[in-house]
A and B are shown apart, each in its own frame.
Chain A
Amino acid sequence: MRTLVILPAFNEEAALRDVLRELRLCCADLDVLVVDDGSSDRTAAVAEGEGVPVAKLPFNLGVGGALQTGFRYAVAHGYDRAIQFDADGQHDPTQVAVLLDALDQGADLVIGSRFAEGGCDYDVGRLRGGAMGVLRLALKLLSGRAFSDTSSGFRAFSAPLLEYYAGSYPTDYMESPEALLLACQRGFRVVEVPVRMRARAAGSPSNRHVRLAYHYLRALMSMMSQAGRRSPAVDRVS
């Protein structure tokens, strides 16, 4: 079983080294790929200094594009499963095993939830919390399933899902709810597990209020259009 840990990184030189070292200590048997999403700082150099392969995007594509790059790499190099892990130190590497366990039990997509029962108290602020609530509701209406954390960036993917996402991962800024919806519609098995998360070690949250509102609106829009689309042939039964 070969597992790839994908770290999308945009200007994360400050936190990246510690994150990589911690990962190596904690999950020595896992391969790591840093996807440098067109950073203007030394993100790629830091990762290379740690001896980790780096996929350098020629310009910034956003998390969706960086992730899809990671998926393409995973598929091209024949990995059996992959983990998405934040480069800013927000995720706890000891929790990787929790996600992998859920994958082993037959899931295609495992979402590490900050809010699920048994997870952590993760304060996201009122505005963001409200916006997340709207997305959660939209997703519930569109997919018919309730998820507690639709925008988690701590996830695990099975090989079939990697194969699928490598060619059709959503590219919009708030990609994770849409990706979740896609997986549900395509008949992939999606589960949520509670995980512990930490406050951001370094780097700044990637959006401000007005932009946040705009991006939530866009995410909602693309989810609607996703759901309105003639439903794709279900190639896997959950």
Chain B
Amino acid sequence: MSTGGHILVVFLTLTSVLFILRMVRRGQLPAKYALLWLSIAVVLIFLAAFPGVLDRTSTWLGIAYGPATFLLGAVTILFLIVVHFSWELARLDARTRVLAEELAVLRADPPNDPAHLAPRPEDQPVEP
């Protein structure tokens, strides 16, 4: 890699790390995500500082083109992260839904007829 290209890579990596660190410091990134992205950043810095490592790994894996190894790794990790986020999003959606429903039930007036005023749910016989 040319010196210029190398400097560019190091610069981009450091900028991303600083950006993540700033978000952590401002409390915008909860610890679990901060840990995730920071460990990725550490790997990136390492690779940017020692490009030879990537080439040696490629040779070892039998991949002819060094950057392809990097892209393969990146795509795999990002794919897993996105799948994880889908799962987390679905869980959040389910929880929000329950909250909305419970809120609606709590705010609703009790049944009209005072003759059969609401027995509490715990008073109900439990079904087998």
Question: A59 near B100 (CB under 8 angstroms)?
Answer: yes
A31-B112 in contact given A61-B97, A78-B118, A163-B127 (Cβ < 8 Å): yes
Chain A residues with Cβ below 8 Å from B104 are 35-36, 55-58, 69
Residue of A nearest to B118 (CB): A77
Question: A65 near B105 (CB under 8 angstroms)?
Answer: no
B108 to chain A minimum Cβ distance, whole angstroms, is 4
Question: A78 near B121 (CB under 8 angstroms)?
Answer: yes
Chain A residues with Cβ below 8 Å from B94 are 171
Chain B residues with Cβ below 8 Å from A200 are none
Question: B109 near A54 (CB under 8 angstroms)?
Answer: yes
Residue of A nearest to B103 (CB): A58
A160 at the interface (CB under 8 A from B): yes
Question: Which residues of A are in contact with B by a Cβ distance under 8 Å?
Answer: 2, 4, 31, 33, 35-36, 51-59, 61, 65, 68-69, 72-73, 75-78, 159-160, 163, 171, 235-236
Q: Which among B101, B109, B127 has the greatest number of chain A C-beta atoms within 10 A?
A: B101
Question: A160 near B127 (CB under 8 angstroms)?
Answer: yes
Additional 4 contacts, C-beta under 8 A, given A65-B97, A77-B119, A78-B121: A51-B112, A55-B108, A57-B100, A68-B101
Question: Which residues of B are in contact with A by a Cβ distance under 8 Å?
Answer: 94, 97, 100-105, 107-113, 116, 118-121, 123-124, 127-128
A78-B119 in contact given A31-B113, A56-B107 (Cβ < 8 Å): yes
Chain A residues with Cβ below 8 Å from B103 are 57-58
Question: A55 near B97 (CB under 8 angstroms)?
Answer: no
A162 to chain B minimum Cβ distance, whole angstroms, is 10
B106 to chain A minimum Cβ distance, whole angstroms, is 9
11 contacts between A and B (CB under 8 A): A31-B113, A53-B111, A53-B112, A55-B104, A56-B107, A56-B108, A57-B104, A61-B101, A75-B124, A77-B119, A236-B128
A58-B105 in contact given A77-B118, A78-B123 (Cβ < 8 Å): no
A69-B105 in contact given A58-B100, A59-B100, A76-B118 (Cβ < 8 Å): yes
Chain A residues with Cβ below 8 Å from B109 are 53-54
In angstroms, Cα B111 to Cα A61, docked, is 23
Question: B110 near A72 (CB under 8 angstroms)?
Answer: no
Question: A65 near B100 (CB under 8 angstroms)?
Answer: yes
In angstroms, Cα B108 to Cα A69, docked, is 10
Chain B residues with Cβ below 8 Å from A68 are 101
Chain B residues with Cβ below 8 Å from A55 are 104-105, 107-108
Question: A76 near B105 (CB under 8 angstroms)?
Answer: yes
In angstroms, Cα B24 to Cα A212, docked, is 44
In angstroms, Cα B123 to Cα A68, docked, is 21
In angstroms, Cα B128 to Cα A2, docked, is 20
Q: Which among B104, B107, B123, B127 has the greatest number of chain A C-beta atoms within 10 A?
A: B104
